[in-house]
Amino acid sequence: MIEYHDKEWGRPCHKDNLHFEYLILDTFQAGLSWRTILHKRENFRKAFSGFNAKAVAEYDKNKIKVLMKDRGLVRNRLKILGAVKNAEAFLKIQEEFRSFDKYIWQFTDYKTINNRCESFSQIRSKSKESELMSRDLKRRGFVFVGPTTCYAYMQGIGMMNDHLITCFRHKKIR
């Protein structure tokens, strides 16, 4: 967890393959701890074709059955089916906007929002930006992308800088 925090969490992401990875992981994380998902990250990477959206969009019933038997994953049938549906929607956005990155960063006017939290109790679980993102993603066919999941995604990819102001990462990201 410390290495993830120190090197990855909140770092602005502009690579579509990483966007897809974070979306998959964040949607599976709902209701679970992030630690659980991080420990299974390599298993997810293997199971979901290196987080290749084109490959995941083509998963069929047989592949879903295989994934449901994989003890290295969160074996939630609806979330696995949701990953396939989200891959399809992800590809449509890439086609429309030429990149998912260009689409997703519009929700923060293409910049990181630097929150100035002094304590963990000040960190929000959603924002007006995550609510707008959630509505638009759902309209485009995504599932498991409520405002709280979207906010966690936004934190992870650096759209929201929610490192405490006393954390060395806050200043580096800002």
Distance CA 130, CA 63 (A): 32
- Number of domains present in the structure of the chain: 1
Which residue range is the domain that position 40 belongs to? 2-173
Distance CA 41, CA 156 (A): 14
The 10s digit of each residue's pLDDT in 107-139 is 999 999 988 888 888 888 899 999 999 999 999
Which domain CATH number covers 25?
1.10.340.30
Residue carrying structure tokens 């990483």:
18
Work out the burial of residue 48: count CB atoms within 10 Å of its CB; fewer than 13 is exposed, 13-18 middle, 19 or more buried. buried
173 and 27 in contact (C-beta within 8 Å)? Answer: no
Q: What is the pLDDT of residue 19?
A: 98
The 10s digit of each residue's pLDDT in 49-107 is 999 999 999 999 999 999 999 999 999 999 999 999 999 999 999 999 999 999 999 99
Instruction: Enter the pTM of the model.
Output: 0.93
